[in-house]
Amino acid sequence: MIRVRLPAKTIPPEFLAAAKLELREVLAHFRNPKTRNRPFTFEAYQNKKLKAQLDGVFHGKCAYCEWRYEGGSYFEVEHYRPKSHYYWLAAEWSNLLPACKRCNNGKRTKFPLADPRKQARRKGEERREKPLLLNPCNPKLNPQDHLLFDTDDGAIKPALHRRAQPSKIGETSIAIYRLSRSGLSLDRKMWAIRVKDKIQIRRLVELGGNAAAKKEAYQGLRHLLEPHQPFRALTIQILRENGFGRQLT
């Protein structure tokens, strides 16, 4: 998972109009004692322009695992705070993320909090919550501060914080989003091998290559960091562990 900025100025107008109308309807529905226990059909978040925009912002990748959902696969519009409880956020731009089916199936309606007693019951109360799940669009929490990778086998683990204790947020996010599933770990392992090969080529060229070869090797590494590439968080970790630091990242 890597931090992504949601551009507020590019929200599709068609989605905003549908979201505004639906919010009025959903608030009236759940405030009315006669209807509050009946199911409500949420539709605004399925807006095609919204889905296209989310796909573009995240460069065709799952917001949680950074896997590219192409080649006949697809993504689902995921509610960070589940709409089954946070009905007033069902069509809130900042609550919507593109997720691959595997991550979304793992999360479903789960939303663990540091203090469950502070769970919001109505619009606005969510500000008092302290979620235990990472949101790549939260500017106050950098996923890279809570998640680390084993660059040999592709495994993921929580980062260690004070007194060598694993990050509770990282630990919970790995479990809920199922970020340690075997297929995903294998994909990360194969990607790590590719990154390390590029690093080795760069080092060999530095020892005896000409200017053109050095430039090509440098661009080869830069290419792996482009936004559309999978597992950018893993790539950045490998580069930093190999002494590149801010040179590339």
CA 66/CA 22 separation, integer angstroms: 30
How many domains does one find in the chain?
A: 2
Residue 124 has pLDDT above 70, yes or no: yes
Q: Both 156 and 80 in a single domain?
A: no
Q: Which helix (H) or strand (E) holds 131?
A: none
209-222 CB burial, b ≥16 within 10 A, e <16: eeeeeeeebbeebe
Residue 78 has pLDDT above 60, yes or no: yes
Residue 72 has pLDDT above 80, yes or no: no
- pLDDT 10s digits, 125-145: 999 999 999 999 999 999 999
Task: Examine residue 119 and state whether it is found in any structural domain, yes or no.
Answer: no
Residue 73 is predicted with a pLDDT of: 59
Work out the end-to-end distance of the chain between its first and last CA atoms, rounded to an integer number of angstroms: 15
Task: Examine residue 130 and state whether it is found in any structural domain, yes or no.
Answer: no
Q: Is 46 helix (H, G, I), strand (E, B) or coil?
A: helix
Report CA-CA distances (Å) from 143 to 85, 157, 194, 204, 234: 25, 12, 23, 33, 11
Residue 22 has pLDDT above 90, yes or no: yes
Residue 70 is predicted with a pLDDT of: 64
Q: What is the mean pLDDT of the chain?
A: 91
Query: What pTM does this model have?
Result: 0.90
CA 146/CA 115 separation, integer angstroms: 19
- pLDDT 10s digits, 189-243: 999 999 999 888 888 877 776 778 778 877 888 899 999 999 999 999 999 998 8
- From 90, 111, 132, the end of a domain falls on 111
Residue 93 is predicted with a pLDDT of: 94
Task: Examine residue 53 and state whether it is found in any structural domain, yes or no.
Answer: yes
Identify the residue whose tokens are 């509610």: 79
**Domain of 78, in residue numbers:** 8-111
Residue 204 is predicted with a pLDDT of: 80
Residue 8 has pLDDT above 90, yes or no: no
Q: Both 105 and 189 in a single domain?
A: no
The answer to whether the beta carbons of residues 152 and 145 sit under 8 Å apart is no
Q: Both 107 and 185 in a single domain?
A: no
Task: Examine residue 190 and state whether it is found in any structural domain, yes or no.
Answer: yes
**246 pLDDT tier (thresholds 50, 70, 90):** low
Task: Examine residue 71 and state whether it is found in any structural domain, yes or no.
Answer: yes
Q: Both 95 and 164 in a single domain?
A: no
- pLDDT 10s digits, 25-51: 999 999 999 999 999 999 999 999 999
46-62 CB burial, b ≥16 within 10 A, e <16: ebeebbebbbebbbebb
Q: Both 20 and 104 in a single domain?
A: yes
Task: Examine residue 170 and state whether it is found in any structural domain, yes or no.
Answer: yes
β-strands 96-100, 75-79 pairing: antiparallel
- From 53, 87, 111, the end of a domain falls on 111
